[in-house]
């Protein structure tokens, strides 16, 4: 088996690259270990808690005991399925803030400023709402908004306004800061994953094929990647890349595969008996994520989604979706959002909110046997850093994952601020008809020590791992890829997924991961990048002196 380009991983970025490279006429072969995404658990948006908790679709990773979270092991779901994590995620669509990408540029990722990446966001989108001057209208990725029929969605936005915050009608447009509608990757009632948006159209071409196998190592000869060794049906096979190998296997599996192939920290590779081809100390380092808490309120009125939290209602919602693609099953239920700044002197939002008219965890466990609602809240730019390291030289063994969550004093201060600001929002007049009492953290939790104990016991990953193959300047010893996604020290090998992020972006990572695939495809094809767009984002005019 051989192709011009061999892509490892049919996830958010890998699917986008397969589409663009095949569109350009190249022969593309995509290696994916996971299976089909056909079925209601993935395709029905409201069923989002199922696939990320099913071993059929999820790699089942978890962290090492996190030392600053009481030794808890946190789940780290990654998609093991066509579409990758875009097939098991919450379908929330966020580009990130303009200043996130300017930070990438300033940290050595030349050509990845907001002006550089905005045209790629526009190329990939078909957005049904928002400002057409900032949004895309003819791309493969459909971005929509939920109907926002429940009055709690409007109450959340109005409470933000009453508390003195900005409103925004499009956080993916000129103005991220503020309260407003949330966007989702849903199209015609179905999850619009990277598989639906990009891979299926690509596979309809004669020059794009999919191979189900476990990639075990990149084969490198004379300093050049020439293909990928895979395990299929228990046998080792070799897939040759005539031009390049592209790793798009996730921020967990991409560094693992590099290390198994001899690219990584030399001493760590030697400990596992792996011959060193390129000593890159940054491989697996710089691991980042978003942590979040669920601030939950009991509801005075029986208007939350709890009334559907029974087998009969779920069956009826499922049947309506299955036969008509209408009803509650067509939304992820995250339909109002906010991005705010934690304090004066912060120039762009560093706190994100997802609002949900139900008090429930991502694993589907209900908080209380009564009506309730919640805001997911967390800081966007944690200063903690972790690492992905090898557990074994066996390619079937999961790696060691340690995020080192909450390892800096700033993280604790930021989380306490998140809780207090959220309580203030729920105390606004807009919520008076709805708030009965606080379910979580609860009225007994107020002091710094009490809040810290709550955070230690209840903070959860938002499932946004990134940063483990950092993009940067060639002379940066911790950079793994250069600004054209080429692995430094090895020819014919690139990485294009969330692992290349120098620093985590504001919000959910599916959008920027797809953008990486879009932009990297132009680098791979040797094309000039799309012309930069110098449109300036909205920044709060009084950010130096005011928090809102």
Which residues are annotated as catalytic?
464
DSSP string, 508-542: -SHHHHHHHHHHHHHHHHTPPPPPP--PPPP--TT
Token pair listed for 374 = 């919640």
The alpha helices in 441-509, defined as continuous H runs, are 448-458
* Number of DSSP helices (H) and strands (E) in the chain, helices first: 13, 25
What are the backbone angles phi and psi of residue 275, rounded to the nearest 5°? Answer: -65, 135
At which residue do the structure tokens 């890829």 appear? 481
> Do residues 245 and 270 make contact, with C-beta atoms less than 8 angstroms apart?
no
> Do residues 359 and 367 make contact, with C-beta atoms less than 8 angstroms apart?
yes
Bridge partners (DSSP) listed for residue 218: 228
Distance CA 266, CA 139 (A): 42
Token pair listed for 167 = 């409103």
Distance CA 91, CA 52 (A): 12
Neighbours of 350 (CB within 10 A): 21
Instruction: Please give the C-alpha separations between residue 145 and each of 124, 254, 267, 521, in angstroms, as whole numbers.
Output: 17, 32, 49, 28
Cis peptide before 441 (omega within 30 of 0): yes
Neighbours of 159 (CB within 10 A): 25
First to last CA, the chain: 58
For residue 81, give the nearest of 47, 114, 106, 52 by alpha carbon: 52
What are the backbone angles phi and psi of residue 245, rounded to the nearest 5°? Answer: -105, 135
> Do residues 509 and 498 make contact, with C-beta atoms less than 8 angstroms apart?
yes
């Amino acid at each position: 088996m051989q192709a011009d380009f061999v892509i490892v991983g049919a996830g958010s970025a890998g699917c986008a690259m397969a589409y663009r490279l095949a569109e350009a006429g190249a022969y593309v072969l995509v290696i994916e270990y996971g299976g089909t995404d056909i079925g209601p658990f993935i395709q029905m948006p409201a069923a989002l808690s199922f696939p990320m908790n099913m071993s059929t679709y999820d790699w089942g990773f978890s962290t090492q005991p996190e030392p600053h979270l009481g030794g808890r092991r946190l789940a780290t779901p990654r998609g093991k399925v066509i579409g990758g994590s875009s097939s098991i995620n919450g379908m929330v669509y966020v580009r990130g803030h303009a200043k996130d990408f300017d930070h990438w540029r300033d940290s050595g990722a030349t050509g990845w400023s907001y002006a550089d990446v905005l045209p790629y966001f526009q190329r990939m989108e078909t957005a049904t709402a928002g400002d057409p001057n900032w949004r895309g209208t003819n791309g493969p990725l459909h971005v929509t908004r939920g109907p926002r029929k429940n009055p709690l969605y409007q109450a959340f936005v109005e409470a933000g306004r009453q508390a003195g915050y900005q409103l925004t009608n499009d956080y993916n447009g000129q103005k991220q800061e503020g309260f407003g509608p949330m966007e989702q990757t849903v199209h015609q009632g179905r999850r619009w994953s990277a598989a639906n948006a990009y891979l299926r159209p690509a596979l309809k071409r004669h020059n794009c094929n999919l191979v189900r196998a476990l990639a075990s190592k990149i084969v490198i000869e004379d300093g050049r990647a020439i293909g990928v060794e895979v395990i299929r049906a228990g046998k080792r096979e070799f897939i040759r890349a005539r031009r390049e190998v592209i790793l798009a296997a996730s921020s967990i599996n991409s560094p693992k595969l590099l290390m198994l192939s001899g690219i990584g920290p030399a001493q760590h590779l030697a400990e596992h008996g792996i011959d060193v081809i390129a000593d890159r100390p940054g491989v697996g380092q710089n691991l980042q994520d978003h942590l979040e808490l669920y601030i939950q309120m009991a509801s005075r009125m029986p208007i939350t989604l709890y009334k559907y939290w029974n087998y009969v209602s779920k069956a009826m919602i499922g049947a309506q979706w299955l036969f008509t693609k209408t009803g509650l099953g067509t939304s992820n239920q995250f339909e109002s959002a906010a991005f705010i700044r934690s304090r004066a002197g912060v120039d762009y939002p560093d706190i994100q909110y997802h609002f949900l008219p139900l008090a429930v965890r991502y694993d589907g466990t209900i908080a209380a046997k009564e009506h309730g609602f919640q805001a997911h809240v967390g800081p966007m730019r944690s200063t903690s850093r972790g690492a992905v390291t090898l557990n074994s030289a066996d390619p079937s063994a999961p790696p060691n994952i340690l995020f080192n969550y909450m390892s800096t004093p700033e993280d604790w201060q930021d989380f306490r601020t998140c809780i207090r600001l959220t309580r203030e929002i729920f105390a606004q007049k807009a919520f008076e008809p709805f708030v009965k009492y606080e379910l979580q953290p609860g009225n007994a939790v107020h002091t710094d020590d009490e809040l810290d104990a709550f955070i230690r016991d209840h903070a959860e990953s938002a499932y946004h791992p990134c940063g483990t193959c950092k993009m940067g300047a060639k002379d940066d010893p911790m950079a793994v890829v250069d600004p054209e996604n080429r692995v430094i020290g090895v020819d014919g090998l690139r990485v294009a997924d969330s692992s290349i992020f120098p620093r985590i972006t504001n919000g959910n990572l599916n959008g920027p991961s797809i953008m990486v695939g879009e932009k990297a495809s132009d680098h791979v094809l040797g094309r000039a990048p799309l012309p930069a767009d110098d449109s300036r984002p909205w920044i709060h005019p009084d950010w130096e002196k005011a928090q809102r």
